[in-house]
Amino acid sequence: MPRSVTPQVAIFIETSKTFGRGILQGISTYSRTHGPWSVYIDEWGPATSLPDWMNHWQGDGIIARVRSQQMAERLQKTGVPIVDTLHQVPDLGLPGVYSDDTAIAQMAFEHLRDRHLRHFAFVGVERAN
């Protein structure tokens, strides 16, 4: 019987924000259900730099919130598949998993409308990823 190989996945998603922690929870659930994976994750914030070990890493995949063209290029140099969860930088050509903000807003509106609320307001921060 062939020996199974555990995929090695590097995760670069901020642990400093609730949204990022939610993504990490989803990855954890997926890995437990479909894994196991060998995962590298560390405390991560929006301004954190990629670690130097990435220059020689021989893993199987990367899941990241790609914040810049430079970050994308550095990740692509590893030669492993990358999944972006941010979609902040257009035209990277990376596959991604993103929130459908329009659908979320529509669901929120319908929820409030169904409760017979008539006055709505929204306060948002542009590019608050």
Q: What is the pLDDT of residue 114?
A: 94
Q: Quick check: is 102 in a domain?
A: yes
CA-based nearest residue to 10, from 67, 70, 56:
56
Residue 128: inside a domain: no
Of the pLDDT bands very low, low, confident and very high (cuts 50, 70, 90), residue 127 is low
The CATH number of residue 82's host domain is: 3.40.50.2300
Q: Is residue 122 part of a domain?
A: no
Tell me the residue range of the domain where 48 lies: 8-114
Residue 3 domain-assigned (yes or no) = no
Of 41, 19, 3, which Cα lies nearest the Cα of 85?
19
Looking at every residue in the chain, the average pLDDT score rounds to 84
State the total domains in the chain.
1
For residue 76, is pLDDT > 80?
Answer: yes
The model's pTM: 0.76
Q: Over 70: is that where the pLDDT of 43 sits? A: yes
What percent of the chain shows pLDDT beyond 70? 94
DSSP string, the chain: -PPP-PPEEEEE--SSSHHHHHHHHHHHHHHHHH---EEE-----TTPPPPGGGGG---SEEEE---SHHHHHHHHTT-S-EEES---STT----B----HHHHHHHHHHHHHHTT---------TT--
